[in-house]
Structure 1
């Protein structure tokens, strides 16, 4: 089964094209995986930033609520100087 010179002239360029196509097919899966992992990483980073912002906002709200309640309690005790803070049940 010998190949003629003309058949080799046609076969060799086609094998190069076929090898390039097969390499592209093998690399396509790897590139898609890398692209997908990069998108997931970016998405996770955005979600983490959003959570951190929300926690910071909530903590500042809690701090202001605590300060507001402390101000209310201090104003209550200062508005009634004769009222005691303890109740005697021993009677």
Structure 2
């Protein structure tokens, strides 16, 4: 495939422009990636250094620890009573020894 002089006059500048465009896209992609990484790094530092409010910690600090323990024990007692009252789905409670 041979190119004529007039075709070379058009092809060479187009190739040069295509190379510039490809380089620009590559640089833009790299800049976007760097920007994204810096934003993520800032966000990680911010979350690492910030203090999150905790309702449980506030309750324990204000003396609510005993109340939490009492309520947990009450819940355990209720669960044990309910387990004793519940019937097994296919086992009965009456045993027939006459047969």
Under TM normalisation by the shorter chain, which class is it?
A: 0.5 to 0.7
Residue of structure 1 in register with 2:63 after alignment: 80
Residue of structure 1 in register with 2:34 after alignment: 49
Residue of structure 1 in register with 2:47 after alignment: 62
**Unaligned regions of 5+ residues in structure 2, if any?**
79-99
Q: Within the alignment, does 1:26 sit opposite 2:21 as a pair?
A: no
Question: RMSD of aligned C-alpha atoms?
Answer: 2.9
Summarize deviations over 1:11-57 as a string: whole Å, max 9, x none: xxxxxxx83x5423111111111000000001001100010011111
**Unaligned regions of 5+ residues in structure 1, if any?**
1-17
TM-score, normalised via structure 2 length: 0.53
What number of residue pairs does the alignment pair up? 71
Structure 1: which 4+ aligned runs deviate by more than 4 Å? 70-76
Compare the two structures and name the one with the higher helix fraction: 1
CA gap 1:72/1:81 in 2 versus in 1, 3 angstroms: closer
Between the aligned partners of 1:69 and 1:42, the Cα distance in structure 2 is 39
Residue of structure 1 in register with 2:97 after alignment: none
CA gap 1:38/1:58 in 2 versus in 1, 3 angstroms: same
TM-score, normalised via structure 1 length: 0.56
